[in-house]
Structures are given as C-alpha cells and as structure tokens.
Structure 1
Amino acid sequence: MVVGDFAKEVDVLVIGAGPGGYVAAIRAAQLGRKVTIVDKDALGGVCLNRGCIPSKAIISAAERYHHMKDSADMGLEVTGEVRVNMPKLIEWKNSVVNKLTGGVKQLLKGNNVEIVSGEAYFSGTNTVRISTEDSSQTYQFNDCIIATGSRPAELPILRFDGKRILSSTEALNLKEVPNRLIVVGGGYIGLELGTAYAKLGSQVTILEGTKSLLPGTDPALTRMVTRRLKKLGVTVVTEAFVQGGEVNGDEVTVKAEVKGEEKTFTGDYCLVSVGRKPNTDELGLDLIGVELDERGFIKIDNQCRTNVEHIYAIGDCAGGALLAHKASYEAKVAAEAMSGHPSVIDYQAMPFVIFSDPEIAYTGLTEEQAKAEGYTPAVSRFAFQANGRALSMNNADGFVQIVADQETKRVLGAQIVGPEASSLISEIVLAIEMGATAEDIALTIHAHPTLPETVMEAAEGILGHAIHMVNKK
C-alpha cells in the first residue's frame, strides 16, 4: 500500500544515521532546528554496526587471547588449553554494538530528533521520498544533510558471495576461526582483520598489489608492523596482482600474478579489502543536479555545502579521508553553517590511526611534507625501548617522532608506531590545533611511568635536552 500523497514538512532532514548523520542531527537540534533523521539500515551506520566498533572488539579479543598464550617470558605459563569460542566472541561483539546503537537512539530522542526508517530518494531539490517495503512518504525540507557513508568496493574478478569470498562485513561475523585465510588488499582494513585472525589461530596470507603494506603510509612505520607480522606467521606477498578466484566446496582459490609469475593461493575464506565506494548512486542526486566527482563522491565547499545551496554532504560520501571522526567533525561544521554560523572545515590536525600490531598513528606534516611547504624541519624520535611503562608492559617496539619548525619550534606533525599509538596521537593533535611549540609539550609535566612520557621526551629532543636519549649534536 502506498500512502503519503501529501508531503510531510520538516525543517532539517538528515539522510544517514552514522557517526556523521547522527552527530549532525544532534548539533542542529542543539542550535534550535527541528530535525528528522532517516536511515535504511541501523542507527550508528557502518562504524557502529559493521566497521570501527565491531572490528576493534574482535581485535581486542584477539590481542587478549594472544597475550594469554604468549606470556611465558613474563612468568605466566598456561598449562591448560586456551580455546577460542568464536560464536561466543561474536555474541559479545554484538552486545557491544547493541549498547552503543541503543545509546545513539537515546541521544537522538533526548534531543527531540525524529527518527524515520526507510530508504531515501530525492524527488526534487526540496523533497525526498522515503520508502519501506510496504509504504512510502514524501518529506519536504528546508535544509538537508546527506551522510550516506560508503560500502566495500568489489572486484569484478573476485565478487563477494558472502560465504567464502567475504567483504569486511561478513568477516566480522564468522562463526569459526578460519584455518587458512587469504586477505586481498594490504590496506588498513585487511591488515587489521588479518592480524586479528592470525592471533586467533588462522594461517593468514595477505596479497597486496603495491610494493609494501599500507600504501601511502610512512615506510618507517610500516616496517615495524611487517616485522611483527612475520613473528605471527603471516605471509605477506607484495606486488601481487589478483587475476581471479573460485570457490570449490569449502575452499576458495585465488590466482595472482606475482612479479611476472602466476601463483595460486588456497584458503577456507578470502577477505577482499580493496577500498570503499560512496553510497551516492541510489539517491537520485542526478535528478536534482548535485555534482559528483569522477569516483562518485559528492563535491562540497569548505562548509560542506554542495552546489545546491541548501543541501550539504558530510563523511565518506563527500570523499577525502574515509574516517568516522572526520565525518563527525564535518557534521558539526555542516549543522553550524546551515544554521548561520561561520564554521568551516580545517583538516590541519586530522588524526589517522591504524589498529595494526603495533598500532600506527600520525597527524600533521611529515619531515618531507614540511620541507615541501617551505619549513626547515627539526625532527626528534624517541624509542619505546627507553620508556619504563612500555618495557613493563612487555610491549616496547616502536617510537614517537615529532616534526617541528626549526626556527619557532612550533609542532607541525607527529608519527607514532607502538603501544597505544591511537591514544597518544591526541596530545599532538591538540598541540597542532593550539599552535603549541615543542617547549609547551616539554614543560607539561607527564606522569611517570606512563606511555605519554615518550611524547614529552620527543619534544625535549627537538629542544636538544632530552634526558633519556642522546641528543643530536
């Protein structure tokens, strides 16, 4: 039955309830707007349901299991069998997801945001048709924020079947630990999940088309990760160009050209992780003239506004770095700009985090980028091997590196590989945002013994008076 011949009028319509959409809805409501949010799937979007949160839950479980089995050098000897109950692990992971999505629902309701379930399609520059399986309704809006996110990209020669050839979505819901797992793509998603399953007991092979894992990441950071993968027994094959694959019963075979030679890899499952594509192709954007780039991402200005003045786009569907925290940041800018505030996007201190082993995090400029922008950079690197807390955790591989302007000592960037890099990077992000100098960090008293002392020591190295490493002459 089709209902809703008359359009329902709303003030602000947000399409998509992920970390961009729900944040935009709440911020707009805080600014006095009457907001309606629609999502065809689940509150929290990909991040909470099929991405950031469930993957980190599995990574954390795998890390704990690995430590239980591999702590003999600390005097912790396991005499009985330590087993992985994969269905129970997935059940726990889902409970974490449910708690967070339930929290999002309460936040939206607490800010008087109307929640609508359904699939949105633009029928005009001020109207959207929202459809469910048995009904549809037209909504007329004053302003709209598109926050539809992205989905895993598929290889035409190795299409997902959801059973043996998997996207990251299916890989987060396996009911068993694969004996053999092939990962096509050595970017951050494939690397994170491949490492987690290796720790849970899988024999993992990663096939990457470029010359190294994590293309575009500082080689000094990736070397530490590659070294750890070898210790975990992960096989990494670079310059591997996948030619195709097929499923035979309970096995999947992948063919790849490796340095001019055709090779075959066989596993129980194959995770294909070769990037993501924007969810912009089924919205009717072409009907209302919203401009897209050649890859299908929505073009926006520095206030997240599209070429259609009262329509905004944020997060993955608007391109750039596909990061949940970037989506949330843009959400606030869009909601504020839409409400008459002079907010603009500024990515100078965007944190990038990879939950590899060890973790990688970076922000701002590298030494090479600083030179390219006309700075004379000063660089200081402090090793976790000289940090008491890292050693007491038996997790001291890696370093903190700070890049600063030689003349003013203003912090320009940082690169971290090591324990809890994902948390440590926040101090540097704040320093860059505030225009802080290395001296500002060095004069900040850091508790001992803690991992953040590595940031302080690296900053002191910029000034030439680090205590726990030899300073450069």
Structure 2
Amino acid sequence: MVVGDFAHEREVVVIGGGPGGYHAAIRAAQLGKEVTIIENQKLGGVCLNESCVPSKLFANAAGKLDEARDMESFGIKGYEKVSFDINGLQERKNKVVHSLTQGVEALLKKNNIEKVQGTAFFISDTELGVENQDAFEKYKFEQVIIATGASFSAPENIPDNDDRILFGSSLYAMDETPEHLALYGSDYITLEAAAIFASFGSEITIILDQEKDSFSFDKTINKELLRLLKKRKIKVYKKTKMTDVTALKDGVHVTLISSNGELTIEASHLFVSSDKSANTSGLRLESCGVEVSANGFIPITNTTQTNKSHVYAVGDTTTSGSLAVEAIKQGKVAGEQAAGENSEWDPGLCPVVAHTVKPIAVVGLTEEEALQEGYNIRVSQFPLASNGYAALSNEKEGIVKVVSEKDTDVILGYHAIGCGSIEMISSAVQVLEMGGRIEDVIYPYYPHPSINEAWLEAAEGLLGKAVHG
C-alpha cells in the first residue's frame, strides 16, 4: 500500500455519492464551499443504479404493456399480439442508468466538486483515511457529511445464495420473467414488484406476515387495493408466517402457517422484503466519537447534525428516513448548514407513493390515525368512476379520499389510488404544509376535464358540495 505522507485539507467532505450525498455536495459548493465527495462504487448510489430508477423504469414498462392491451377499446388495431422481452428492458435500463450517472458526474464537475474514488473511514474527528486498492490518502476536514446509505440484509433461516431467492433490488437485475413469483412482505417495494411482474405475465402470490391482514395505507385505500389485486388474479395470503424456504433446482418450496393451518407454495422465484442495515460498520465512527444506535444507524437533529456538531449524516444511514425524497431533503439541509445557512428538515408530511396495480399516493394522517390523535374529523371520498377524464381514458378504477378537522376545516390527510394519484400528491403536500383549509382546495380553478377534478370533488364532498360524488 502506498501511504500519503500528508493530509489534504478540505472545507467539506461528503462520504457517499447517492441522492443525499451528491445533493449535499452541490448545495455546499453552490454556497461557496470547497467540497470533496468520496464514493467507493458508482455515483447515484443504490437508488439510481439498482433500486428507485430501475424499479420505476420497470413500472413504466408494465404500464405501457397494460396500455397496449387496452388499445383496441380506443379503436386502435394491431396490438393484439403485443409481447414482452425482459432482455430488451434490461438494455434500456442500463442505458438510462448510465446516462443519469453521467449526469451526476457532470453536475459535480460543473460545481467544481472534487470526486475521490475509494473507501473512507475516520482516523479522528477531523481526519479521514481513504483507501483505493493499493493507494491510501488522508483528508483533513472542517466539516463532514456521512451519506453511506444502507444495505438489505437477508432474514434469518432464508437461503441467500440462490438466484431464485431475491432480496432488495435484485428483482430488477433478472434476465428472465418468473413463471410464478411469490413475494413475502407488505411494503411499497413488494406491491410495486407484484404489479410489475403481473403485467409481464408472471403468476403472483403475495404473502403478508402474521401481524398483517392488509397493507399500511388508509383503510379505504387498502380495501380498494385488495379488490384490484384480486381482479388482477394476484393471490394474497393474510396473517401468515413463513416457516421454511427450500431452494430447488427449478423453483422454491415455501411452507406457511396461518389460522387455517399449514400450506405450501411452489414458486419459480421468491422475493423477501427484508430489513436494511446501515453502511456504517467500516467507517470507524468510534474514532470521531459519533454516536450510533444499536443497529448502526446514526441519530440526527433537525439540522442533520450528529452528536458532533461538525459531523452531519443524511439518508438511509440515519435513524430518520429511508426514502430517497427524504435523503435529498436532508442532503440539501446538510450542505446548507455546512455553508453556514440556517436550514432545517421536518420528517412530517413526506409523501409515500407506490407504482402498483394502480398508483397510490398518500400524505398526512389516515382516518384511523386522525381519530386516534383525538381529532373531530370529516371524511370524504370520491370515486374515479365519477370523473369525466377517468371515464374517457378508461382509467375509472380508484378513489381519492380527504380527511379534515371538522372544527377548523384544516386538511389533515390525502389518500389516493388510481390514475393521476402520484401527479396530484404535490398539491396535497403543499396544502398540508401551509395548514390549508377546505376552502383553499375548492376555491382555485381546476382544468376540465382532468383527473385533478377528483381532488377538487373529494374536498367539496367534505362540505356536501360535490356535484358528481
């Protein structure tokens, strides 16, 4: 190993080039700081290279397949023989990921950010060591931002060395379409994968764990989601414990126990939604005195600072956030704080979306949560079947639901499943962030015809004013 004999001095060092890391680096640089970013793999992190971008590309492909199968209802002929080639989709994924990665690289250069390839670890609370093969360099920093992310870890007693048993983002690296894909989990990752591969032609089985009889959305959304899954012939086992998983030569044998007794499933592939572990074990955080939780995640304040005021942490590596949108927000705050700006982030009102059988987008309190918190509430739901644009586009399945406080008319929550849900969620987030009331939603103009009118009529329904509800 070649060892540097001096330390490079930098104002701000960012460890990790994922969404949180590169946003932090760019914001600090925009505000005049000299910034170095250290990455041991690819810029963009897991989100860009393996997870967020590939999964949404696959979801987009599934949506296009579904649209093609519906073309005849619009008088468009010749789509009856539409087929799917997963290898062609993988080629497109690789091109898109490469292009976006190059885009991040260009942004760093544009902002004069030094990129260092290697694995970083703390030597002290002001110095880092960086190893890259046989080379070793030291970096002395004024402030450092940790953005090393997290990794999926296989649950106990489940084989992790068989290519038919999948974890994390490995679904989107397959070169074959599963004949029968079983999925164990109830999160948005599981739901998206189920919908995607159902569109691709796979038989799908979802297994909810023994504590779950539904998904983690508002009860109205869950009911509609389960109906849509059933319509798509996606089997859902509720409150089920997976007791044994055996990899076979041409499939996976899964043993389950539920209130109805023991049953077995033979699938070609099994996906297991697994927990994440923070990528902090190699950082030697004890050398700089940064506190971590029992499972390695780093607690942070609303300014993204750790217990060491000059050490920041963002994204999956923290105890406060597992979505890319949170990592991006925290990254910007960390970069601004490192440059002397008074900036904060708030964990509340972060939207959750799922590109599943029909898109789901939610923000704020569910009906159940609002009642549990003691609110006197109004609830209104509007079916997309009553929306003109949904009817003309043959996208009539879905519901928009709004929860408000009865005494003040303040909007507490927005929950939607169906066409346009994800596109409308930003408007809902803005209303909730501003403490908006029903009148703030129903007063503005909404284009006609449009799916947006479902958001309007759901809000009008809170006051009994919806015309089509």
Q: TM-score under structure 1 normalisation? A: 0.94
Instruction: Read off the aligned partner of 2:137 and give its amino acid letter.
Output: Q
More moved, 161-170 vs 393-402: 161-170
| Residue of structure 2 equivalent to 1:377 | 377
| Residue of structure 1 equivalent to 2:107 | 107
* Deviation of 1:13 (Å): 0.7
Q: Is the 8 A contact 2:126 2:288 kept in 1?
A: no
Instruction: Read off the aligned partner of 1:269 and give its amino acid letter.
Output: H
| Residue of structure 2 equivalent to 1:284 | 284
* Deviation of 1:116 (Å): 1.3
What is the 5 A alignment of 1:136-151? Answer: 136-151=136-151
SS of alignment partner, residue 112 of structure 2 = coil
| Residue of structure 2 equivalent to 1:454 | 454
More moved, 78-87 vs 11-20: 78-87
Distance in 2 between residues matched to 1:188 and 1:425, nearest whole Å: 16
Q: Is the 8 A contact 1:187 1:213 kept in 2?
A: no
Can you give the 5+ residue segments of structure 1 that lack an aligned partner in the other structure?
A: none
* Deviation of 1:286 (Å): 3.0
Q: Is 1:364 paired with 2:364?
A: yes
Q: Is the 8 A contact 2:218 2:368 kept in 1?
A: no
Distance in 2 between residues matched to 1:137 and 1:371, nearest whole Å: 56
Instruction: Read off the aligned partner of 1:265 and give its amino acid letter.
Output: I
* Deviation of 1:78 (Å): 4.8
Deviation sequence 1:258-307 (CA, Å, 0-9, x none): 33633322222222212322222221123332212233211111111111
SS of alignment partner, residue 322 of structure 1 = coil
RMSD of aligned alpha carbons: 2.0
Q: Is the 8 A contact 2:162 2:247 kept in 1?
A: no
Deviation sequence 1:318-352 (CA, Å, 0-9, x none): 12341101111111222222332222222332111
More moved, 374-383 vs 53-62: 374-383
Distance in 2 between residues matched to 1:53 and 1:79, nearest whole Å: 27
Distance in 2 between residues matched to 1:43 and 1:466, nearest whole Å: 48
* Deviation of 1:72 (Å): 4.7
What is the 5 A alignment of 1:41-440? Answer: 41-76=41-76, 78=78, 81-161=81-161, 163-210=163-210, 212=212, 215-259=215-259, 261-440=261-440
Q: TM-score under structure 2 normalisation? A: 0.95
More moved, 232-241 vs 349-358: 232-241
* Deviation of 1:312 (Å): 0.7
Deviation sequence 1:382-408 (CA, Å, 0-9, x none): 211111111122112221112222233
Taking a change above 3 Å as real, the CA distance of residues 227 and 368 of structure 1, as seen in their structure-2 partners, is closer
Instruction: Read off the aligned partner of 2:170 and give its amino acid letter.
Output: E
Taking a change above 3 Å as real, the CA distance of residues 388 and 211 of structure 1, as seen in their structure-2 partners, is farther
Deviation sequence 1:85-144 (CA, Å, 0-9, x none): 111111112212122111111111111111111111112111121112222212111101
Q: Is the 8 A contact 1:162 1:170 kept in 2?
A: no
Instruction: Read off the aligned partner of 1:434 and give its amino acid letter.
Output: M
Distance in 2 between residues matched to 1:288 and 1:159, nearest whole Å: 37
Distance in 2 between residues matched to 1:345 and 1:7, nearest whole Å: 33
* Deviation of 1:368 (Å): 3.4
Can you give the 5+ residue segments of structure 2 that lack an aligned partner in the other structure?
A: none
Distance in 2 between residues matched to 1:214 and 1:129, nearest whole Å: 47
Taking a change above 3 Å as real, the CA distance of residues 233 and 77 of structure 1, as seen in their structure-2 partners, is farther
Q: Is the 8 A contact 1:31 1:339 kept in 2?
A: yes
Taking a change above 3 Å as real, the CA distance of residues 37 and 341 of structure 1, as seen in their structure-2 partners, is same
SS of alignment partner, residue 459 of structure 1 = helix
Instruction: Read off the aligned partner of 1:289 and give its amino acid letter.
Output: G
Distance in 2 between residues matched to 1:448 and 1:92, nearest whole Å: 35
* Deviation of 1:412 (Å): 2.1
SS of alignment partner, residue 455 of structure 1 = helix
* Deviation of 1:363 (Å): 0.9
SS of alignment partner, residue 409 of structure 1 = coil
Q: Is the 8 A contact 1:50 1:172 kept in 2?
A: yes
* Deviation of 1:22 (Å): 0.6
Segments ≥4 residues shifted beyond 6 Å:
none
Distance in 2 between residues matched to 1:78 and 1:57, nearest whole Å: 25
Instruction: Read off the aligned partner of 1:453 and give its amino acid letter.
Output: E
Distance in 1 between residues matched to 2:303 and 2:294, nearest whole Å: 21
Distance in 1 between residues matched to 2:162 and 2:45, nearest whole Å: 20
Taking a change above 3 Å as real, the CA distance of residues 213 and 388 of structure 1, as seen in their structure-2 partners, is farther
Distance in 1 between residues matched to 2:213 and 2:141, nearest whole Å: 45
SS of alignment partner, residue 6 of structure 2 = coil
| Residue of structure 2 equivalent to 1:7 | 7
- Identity in percent: 38
Q: Is the 8 A contact 1:279 1:317 kept in 2?
A: yes
